[in-house]
Amino acid sequence: MLLVDDLRVAYGKILAVEEVSLEVDERELVAVIGANGAGKTSLLSALMGLVEPRGGTISFRERDITRFPSWWRVRLGLALVPEGGRIFPDLSVEKNLLLGAFVVRSRRGLVENLELVFSLFPVLKERLNQRAGTLSGGERQMLAIGRSLMASPKLLLVDEVSMGLMPKLIPEILGTFRKLRGERGMSVLLAEQNAREALQVVDRGYVLKNGRVVLAGTAVELRENDEVKTAYLGL
């Protein structure tokens, strides 16, 4: 579904992503594990068309999208849940959700997507008219995920959703991605520092270090890998 080949991202002389190749299949949950500064956000930004890659190709559902603008990628079925649960704080919860639906043309599609979001995160329905800036950290993340779902994505790119969440909420939020795969056939690419939690929910993963993929395998293989254990799982 997603094929990334030899991708490179740089900011001036700073190389953030170097020669990264990876893939995500239909209905697959994949993690990109990496410490702070490893290049996760740069990678997702390039996939979403928010930064222009220095080299390499990105293909999505058999189309080369490397030079496509972001809105076009959204229309093709990519959506991003940005780092830090970024939402529009001065707008209501409802307006935030509707902004995510700019590619949805039919009223019916809109209603269906809203129903999906409310079924995953009922609290958003209660807070519909509230200013998004007044939400708790966990609710903001829910809104950020909800907003991305409003675009009916096929592949969801999720940047560090566990960061700043109460530990108890993390499995619950990550669990929603399994639900989305099960109920909607979505794929998810999860960028996470929190290897422990991420490797509980994904099928496969890549370990990113200084902008490069240094390890790849199934979630089970990565959980049992000695390097992963010491560097990312604190074992």
Binding site for ligand ADP (CB under 6 A): 11, 14, 16, 34, 36-42
How far is Cα 110 from Cα 85, in angstroms, rounded to an integer? 22
Q: Which does 77 bind (CB under 5 to 8 A by kind): ligand ADP, Mg ion, none?
A: none
User: Quick check: 116 and 184 in contact, CB under 8 A?
Assistant: yes
Binder of residue 106, out of ligand ADP, Mg ion, none (CB less than 5 to 8 A by kind): none
Q: Supply the minimum distance, in Å, between the C-beta of residue 192 and ligand ADP.
A: 10
Please provide residue 113's backbone torsions phi and psi, each rounded to the nearest 5 degrees: -65, -40
Min separation Cβ 105 and Mg ion, Å: 33
- Which pair of tokens denotes residue 142? 């829910």
Q: Which is nearer to ligand ADP, 130 or 193 (CB)?
A: 193
Distances (CA, A) of 150 to 12, 17, 42, 48, 176: 35, 29, 24, 16, 15
Q: Which of residues 34-53 bind Mg ion (CB under 5 A)?
A: 40-41
Residue 14: which of ligand ADP, Mg ion, none does it interact with, CB under 5 to 8 A by kind? ligand ADP
Question: Cβ of residue 163: shortest distance to Mg ion, in angstroms?
Answer: 8
Q: Site residues for Mg ion, window 177-206 (CB under 5 A)?
A: none
Q: Provide the 8-state DSSP code for 103.
A: T
Smallest gap from residue 16 Cβ to ligand ADP (A)? 3
Q: Helix 137-149 crosses helix 107-120 at what angle (to 10 degrees)?
A: 150
Query: Among residues 28 and 159, whose Cβ is nearest to Mg ion?
Result: 159
Residue 34 touches which of Mg ion, ligand ADP, none (Cβ within 5-8 Å per kind): ligand ADP
Count of residues that interact with Mg ion, criterion CB under 5 A:
3
CA dist 211 and 20 (Å) reads 8
Q: Is 41 or 176 the residue whose CB approaches ligand ADP more closely?
A: 41
Which of these segments, 16-24, 78-86, 124-132, 178-186, binds Mg ion (CB under 5 A)?
78-86
Under 8 Å CB-to-CB from 112, ≥6 apart: which residues?
none
State the binding string over 80-99 for Mg ion (x if CB under 5 A, else -). Answer: ---x----------------
Q: Which residue is nearest to Mg ion (CB)?
A: 41
10 in Cβ contact with 54 (< 8 Å): yes
Nearer to ligand ADP, 32 or 65 (CB): 32
Distances (CA, A) of 176 to 82, 144, 157, 170, 184: 16, 13, 14, 10, 11
Q: Which residue is associated with the tokens 């293909």?
A: 59
Q: How far apart are CA 208 and CA 135, in angstroms?
A: 32
Where on the chain is the footprint of Mg ion (CB under 5 A)?
Answer: 40-41, 83
